[in-house]
Chains A and B, each alone.
Chain A
Amino acid sequence: MAEKILMKGNEALAEGAVRAGCRFFAGYPITPQNEVPEYMSWRMPEVGGSFIQAESEVAAINMLYGASATGIRTMTSSSSPGISLKQEGISYCAGADLPIFFANVVRGGPGLGNIAAGQGDYFQSTRGGGHGDYYTIVMAPNCVEEMGNFPRRCYELAEKYRVPAMVLADAILGQMMEPVEFDFEPVDPKTLKAHDWALGIAAGRERRIVRSYDLREGKLELLNLERMERYRKIQEKEALHENRQTDDAKLVVAAYGTSSRIAAGAVKMARDKGMKVGLFRPITLWPFPTKALATIAEHVKNFLVVEMSMGQFVEDVRLAVCGTARVDLYARPAGVPSADEVFTEIEKVYQGIR
């Protein structure tokens, strides 16, 4: 594979999408994700794709709706308030079974919040986000290398199940630089299989319709039931996670994204002091790795959730352990904990374990 490149998270995200075959990007400026549209503005023309700075996030997501309906790989990115604006369009994409890819480089909220890192968009990302009954595949990188490598996975899953997929990052992952090694060769879009639903040249075939509505009596429910079956398959097959030192652990720290790398530092500090502490990190937030966590909960009876929000992610942890273990929460809503601070929390909880 290629040599390591020092890259900014936002640039790795954009380059990862391009290498995965993305040939259409529409977006709107918002900090802390501006490097993504800036990068795409020169990179897209270089690979024969299209870049549009849209008049709003609303227009951007609808440009994606149109572009992805032609069957090509597309991307948009934004940060929290902009993703809120895109939710109607994402719901339409889910309803029309379009495999769009987008990224949320989360900032502090609610409202205008700030431009520092946060994890307050967990519910929005993992519970559909817009109106209606749907889910989005959510991948949560915790380093710049994963920012670069996850877009390809998102495209593949999105197309396999015909659902939107996203990368949920944050301001730290977007702004920081780290070495990156792409784990795949660049994809030539011409080599991708043509979709039997894509709009375009209709010569020699029946016309095609992309839409999210069905007003006929009882038909919408049938559509949703079929989609529900796809969601079930995704939950069964596509959940990803990482365990560290959970086998002999008395306490397992659960965290995702930036929180998980900081927690990993704290777990190491605890191990250095002889404490039996492990780490559980979901890589997909939807589907949530429920089974993997439940398996740990068979022998670990204490969990500490670390999240940069008030207690959103903790709900999925509690659902997974289903009352069989104690779950404590260290919440830093729009604050970034240091490894020292997480370690202090670990010590507190650990001392209380019999």
Chain B
Amino acid sequence: MYQGIRISGFGGQGIISAGILLAQAGMIENKHVSWFPAYGAEMRGGTANCSVVVSSDEVASPIVARPDTVIVMNEPSLAKFEPMLKPGGLLIINSSLVNSKPQRSDIRVAYVACNKIAEEIGTTKIANMVALGAFMGLTGALGVEAISKALPKVFKRAKPELLELNVQALKKGAETKIS
């Protein structure tokens, strides 16, 4: 198996940590993994995005130029990353913050109200986890158990209560269906 993923959004939406969490979970499942961030010259206010590869084979390039899955957490990310997606690829859209619709018809699209669902669970901080849950549910690329194990390794200083909310968000996100 090979999954090349791009996750994109505003700085502060947990884009970078969501990517690391995927890589950590893939590692726990004994897959080959890589994570690569976009690191711009600007420190704040820019968009954040990262590439993650989870594969049964060695990872060639950690830069995912033709993703199997794209997760867009904010409006500007849609226009930037939709064109990169492989034909037949999966586009997960955070419909709480993204109003535009994708242009392509050769892709699968899932709308997830990440912020709204996260708020219902307790905090919008975990909107990224709702999106990851959707990714797991729709692709089956990684199990909930691996992600749960990965959580405390990535968020080393997080309180157990917050980690529990993260797991809830993942599970809720995993209920997402392709529209």
Q: Does B127 contact A (CB under 8 A)?
A: no
Q: Which residues of A contact B65 (CB under 8 A)?
A: 338, 340
Task: For the complex, give the distance between the alpha carbons of A336 and B36 in Å.
Answer: 13
Task: For the complex, give the distance between the alpha carbons of A115 and B41 in Å.
Answer: 8
User: Interface size (A, Cβ < 8 Å)?
Assistant: 22
Q: Does B20 contact A (CB under 8 A)?
A: yes
User: Interface size (B, Cβ < 8 Å)?
Assistant: 21
Residue from B36, B41, B60, B153 within 8 A of A176 (CB atoms): B36
Is the pair A178, B39 in contact by a Cβ cutoff of 8 Å?
no
Task: For the complex, give the distance between the alpha carbons of A338 and B63 in Å.
Answer: 8
Residue from B20, B37, B59, B61 within 8 A of A338 (CB atoms): B61
Q: Does A77 contact B (CB under 8 A)?
A: no
Q: Which residues of B contact A258 (CB under 8 A)?
A: 61
Q: Which residues of B contact A4 (CB under 8 A)?
A: 27
Q: Does A151 contact B (CB under 8 A)?
A: no
Mask: chain B, 12-42; 1 = CB below 8 Å from A; 0 = not: 0000000010011001000001111101010
Given contacts A6-B20, A177-B20, A177-B35, contact A261 B58 (CB under 8 A): yes
Q: Which residues of B contact A31 (CB under 8 A)?
A: 39, 41
Task: For the complex, give the distance between the alpha carbons of A178 and B59 in Å.
Answer: 10
Task: For the complex, give the distance between the alpha carbons of A90 and B123 in Å.
Answer: 53
Is the pair B61, A6 in contact by a Cβ cutoff of 8 Å?
no
Q: Does B89 contact A (CB under 8 A)?
A: no
Q: Does A339 contact B (CB under 8 A)?
A: yes
Q: Does A266 contact B (CB under 8 A)?
A: yes
Is the pair B61, A261 in contact by a Cβ cutoff of 8 Å?
yes
Is the pair B39, A176 in contact by a Cβ cutoff of 8 Å?
no
Q: Which residues of B contact A120 (CB under 8 A)?
A: none
Given contacts A115-B41, A176-B36, A338-B65, contact A6 B60 (CB under 8 A): no
Q: Which residues of B contact A176 (CB under 8 A)?
A: 34-36, 62
Is the pair A172, B60 in contact by a Cβ cutoff of 8 Å?
no
Is the pair B20, A262 in contact by a Cβ cutoff of 8 Å?
no
Task: For the complex, give the distance between the alpha carbons of A33 and B61 in Å.
Answer: 19
Is the pair B39, A339 in contact by a Cβ cutoff of 8 Å?
no
Q: Which residues of B contact A266 (CB under 8 A)?
A: 60
Q: Does A186 contact B (CB under 8 A)?
A: no
Is the pair B39, A32 in contact by a Cβ cutoff of 8 Å?
yes
Task: For the complex, give the distance between the alpha carbons of A268 and B59 in Å.
Answer: 11
Which of chain B's residues has its CB closest to A117's CB? B63
Is the pair A336, B33 in contact by a Cβ cutoff of 8 Å?
no
Mask: chain A, 166-187; 1 = CB below 8 Å from B; 0 = not: 0000001001111100000000
Q: Does B171 contact A (CB under 8 A)?
A: no
Residue from B23, B35, B41, B61 within 8 A of A265 (CB atoms): B61
Is the pair A336, B35 in contact by a Cβ cutoff of 8 Å?
no
Is the pair B60, A262 in contact by a Cβ cutoff of 8 Å?
yes
Query: How far, in Å, is A4 (CB) from chain B's closest CB?
Result: 6
Q: Which residues of B contact A172 (CB under 8 A)?
A: 36, 62-63
Query: How far, in Å, is B148 (CB) from chain A's closest CB?
Result: 16
Task: For the complex, give the distance between the alpha carbons of A172 and B103 in Å.
Answer: 31
Task: For the complex, give the distance between the alpha carbons of A115 and B66 in Å.
Answer: 22
Is the pair B60, A265 in contact by a Cβ cutoff of 8 Å?
yes
Query: How far, in Å, is A309 (CB) from chain B's closest CB?
Result: 17
Chain A 306-354 interface residues, beta-carbon cutoff 8 Å to B: 336, 338-340
Is the pair A6, B24 in contact by a Cβ cutoff of 8 Å?
yes
Is the pair B66, A340 in contact by a Cβ cutoff of 8 Å?
yes
Q: Which residues of A contact B66 (CB under 8 A)?
A: 338, 340
Most buried by B among A31, A179, A266: A179
Some 19 contacts from A to B, beta carbons below 8 A apart, are A6-B27, A6-B33, A6-B35, A6-B153, A31-B39, A172-B36, A176-B34, A176-B62, A177-B23, A178-B34, A178-B62, A179-B27, A261-B58, A261-B61, A264-B60, A265-B58, A268-B57, A338-B65, A339-B60
- Would you list the 10 A-B pairs with minimal beta carbon distance, nearest first? A265-B60, A177-B35, A339-B60, A176-B36, A176-B62, A262-B61, A338-B65, A179-B27, A262-B60, A6-B24
Given contacts A6-B24, A262-B61, A338-B61, 20 further A-B contacts (CB under 8 A): A6-B33, A31-B39, A31-B41, A115-B39, A115-B41, A172-B36, A172-B62, A172-B63, A175-B39, A176-B35, A177-B35, A177-B36, A178-B34, A261-B58, A261-B59, A264-B60, A265-B58, A336-B63, A338-B63, A338-B65
